[in-house]
């Protein structure tokens, strides 16, 4: 990933530099490394349907909603080539979290999310992906 290093100059607000330097000091790193990683993080955000991604969908739902778990399982079986694994976490008496790990086309991940997001009993969906 690291190619030849090129020196460059950018303009930043004074407050932002101050915050950056405070963070850099707190983790014992240097400005260049932290800025490089921040840029890579930014560039890893998928934005095109054809992007290949890997990541995680977190779904919080009510396990008291009759039939919902079976329905989500059925939906997952329709994305057999996208889903790498999943983990079920019992959050409290009423709520469960399903973490679905995916690797594939961003458009397929979006399609999976669209099938789950509107279901009755689904309380929250969060996502975290990196572009491959």
Judged by the rule CB under 5 A, the positions of this chain that interact with Ni ion are 90, 96
**CB nearest Ni ion: which residue?**
96
The least distance separating Ni ion from the CB of residue 60, rounded to whole angstroms, comes to 10
Name the burial class of residue 98, with classes exposed (0-12), middle (13-18) and buried (19+) by CB atoms within 10 angstroms of its CB.
Answer: buried
Give whichever of 84 and 89 is closer to Ni ion, judged by the CB atom. 89
Closer Cβ to Ni ion, 12 or 87, answer by number: 87
Nearer to Ni ion, 33 or 90 (CB): 90
| Least distance between Ni ion and beta carbon 100 (Å) | 14
Q: At its nearest, how many Å lie between Ni ion and the CB of residue 118? A: 21
- Assign 3-class secondary structure to 42-109: HHCCCCCCCCEEEEEEEEEEECCCCCHHHHHHHHHHCCCCCEEEEEEEECCCCEEEEEEEEEEEHHHH
């Amino acid at each position: 990933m690291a190619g030849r290093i090129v020196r460059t100059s950018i303009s930043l607000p004074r407050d932002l530099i101050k915050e950056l330097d405070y963070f850099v000091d707190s983790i014992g790193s240097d400005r260049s490394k932290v800025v490089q990683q921040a840029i890579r993080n930014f560039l890893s955000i998928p934005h095109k349907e054809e992007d290949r991604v890997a990541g995680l969908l977190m779904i919080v739902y009510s396990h008291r909603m009759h039939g919902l778990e079976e329905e989500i399982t059925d939906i997952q079986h329709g994305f057999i080539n996208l889903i790498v694994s999943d983990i079920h976490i019992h959050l409290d008496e009423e709520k469960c979290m399903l973490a679905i790990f995916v690797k594939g086309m961003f458009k397929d991940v979006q399609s999976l999310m669209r099938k789950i997001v509107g279901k009755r009993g689904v309380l929250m969906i969060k996502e975290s992906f990196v572009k491959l």
